[in-house]
Amino acid sequence: MDACPLNRALELIGGKWKMQILCSLHNNGPTRYNRLKKSLDGVSNTVLANALRELESDGLILRREYLEVPVRVEYQATRRCEQLIPILDALGNWSIAL
């Protein structure tokens, strides 16, 4: 299964919250942590923080820290994420047609 490209894709975006995070950042633009958490009804801080860390590590989101008092952190979709959005849209349309 390691050689299957689809398996790799699911490793990147699989899980309960990753696709919702990507769609939220795509739709809302740069977003602060608390606003993102509010848009994802039911996600815990631990799960959200881990998912954000993984998505950043995989190049799908960008974490930008502003040196202000207090420190402001925003997350935004990267170009790589924007290339994924039409695929997620097509998958959503496919599920509606079932």
Q: What is the DSSP letter of 41?
A: T
pTM over 0.75: yes
**Domain 5-97: which CATH number of 1.10.260.40, 1.20.1250.10, 1.10.10.10, 1.10.1380.10:** 1.10.10.10
Using the predicted structure, report yes or no on whether residue 2 has a pLDDT greater than 80: no
Q: How far is CA 37 from CA 4, 10, 16, 55, in A?
A: 33, 23, 14, 15
Question: pLDDT tens-digit profile of 43-97?
Answer: 999 999 999 999 999 999 999 999 999 999 999 999 999 999 999 999 999 999 9
Residues, the chain: 98
Average pLDDT over residues 23-38: 96
